[in-house]
Amino acid sequence: MAYTANDVAEWMYNEVQNAGVLHQNQAVTHIINHFGEAFIYVNENGNKAIDKEVKKLFKKLHGGRAAWERDGFFWGWQ
């Protein structure tokens, strides 16, 4: 099955909504293992990060109900 950025964004949305929190490192690992490396890139700091298109779709899905906690590298449901 070929996954899309929207599939990944929907998974992220469901995770943060159900668990209340989604840590970036756990999300990256899950995305690689279940959706593939295509949705991950290496950022300017040398860390694996979630594709910008995925994050854009995720933001559209949560509509401001999830907030990024910069210091803790996670999204939290509000």
DSSP state for residue 1 in the 8-state scheme: -
Q: What is the C-alpha separation between 68 and 66, in angstroms, rounded?
A: 7
Instruction: Determine contact, residues 42/49, Cβ cutoff 8 Å.
Output: yes
Q: What is the CATH number of the domain that holds 44?
A: 1.10.10
Provide the pLDDT for residue 18. 96
Question: Could you give the number of structural domains in the chain?
Answer: 1
Q: What tens digit of pLDDT does each residue of 27-50 get?
A: 999 999 999 999 999 999 999 999
Q: How many CB atoms lie within 10 A of CB 31?
A: 22
**Mean pLDDT, range 8-29, rounded to an integer:** 97
Q: What is the pTM of this model?
A: 0.94
Provide the pLDDT for residue 42. 97
Q: What is the C-alpha separation between 57 and 54, in angstroms, rounded?
A: 5
Instruction: Write out the residue range of the structural domain in which residue 33 sits.
Output: 5-77
